[in-house]
C-alpha cells in the first residue's frame, strides 16, 4: 500500500503537484505516555519530485516537520507529464508514486 497520495494538474503551461504523505514523523523527543521512554526518531529526510524522469524538486526535511506532511510545488510542464514523487526516511524506508498530469 502506498503512503503517498498525489495529484498533478496542468494549467497554462504550469503543473501544480499536491501530495500528502502518510508518515509518523517522530522527532525522538516525545515520550511514550505508558512507559515514559523516548519514542525513537523516525522522519522523512528527503523528498524528490520528477517530471518525465527529470528532477524538478528536491526537499530535505528533518524531525521538525509534522506528522503526515503535505507538499505542493509547481513546475513548467504539460498535460500527460509523468510525475513521480519519492521519499526516504532516516530508517532507510522509502516509497514512490507516479501520476500523469491532467
Is pLDDT larger for residue 2 or for residue 11?
11
Percent of the chain at pLDDT > 70 equals: 99
CB atoms within 10 A of CB 23: 21
Of 2, 1, 20, give the one whose Cα is nearest residue 68.
20
Average pLDDT, integer, range 31-38: 93
The answer on pLDDT for 1 being more than 80 is: no
Q: Which domains does the chain have, with CATH numbers?
A: 4-100 (2.60.40.10)
Q: Are 69 and 61 in contact (CB under 8 A)?
A: yes
What's the pTM value of the predicted model, to 2 decimals?
Answer: 0.90
57 forms beta bridges with 49
Average pLDDT, integer, range 64-86: 97
Residue 24: predicted pLDDT: 95
Residue 2: predicted pLDDT: 82
- How many whole angstroms separate alpha carbon 29 and alpha carbon 26? 8
CB atoms within 10 A of CB 89: 20
Place of cell 509518523: 24
The answer on pLDDT for 82 being more than 70 is: yes
Strand arrangement of the beta sheet that strand 14-21 belongs to: 4-11, 14-21, 70-76
pLDDT digits (tens, 9 = 90+) for 43-64: 999 999 999 999 999 999 999 9
Of 59, 63, 61, 37, give the one whose Cα is nearest residue 48.
59
Amino acid at each position: 500500500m502506498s503512503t503517498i497520495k498525489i495529484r498533478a494538474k496542468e494549467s497554462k503551461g504550469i503543473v501544480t503537484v499536491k501530495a500528502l504523505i502518510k508518515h509518523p514523523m517522530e522527532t525522538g523527543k516525545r515520550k511514550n505516555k505508558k512507559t515514559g521512554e523516548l519514542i525513537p526518531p523516525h522522519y522523512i529526510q528527503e523528498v524528490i519530485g520528477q517530471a518525465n524522469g527529470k528532477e524538478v524538486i528536491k526537499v530535505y526535511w528533518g524531525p521538525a516537520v509534522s506528522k503526515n506532511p503535505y507538499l505542493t510545488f509547481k513546475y513548467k510542464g504539460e498535460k500527460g507529464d509523468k510525475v513521480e514523487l519519492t521519499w526516504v526516511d532516516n530508517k532507510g524506508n522509502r516509497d514512490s508514486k507516479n501520476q500523469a498530469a491532467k
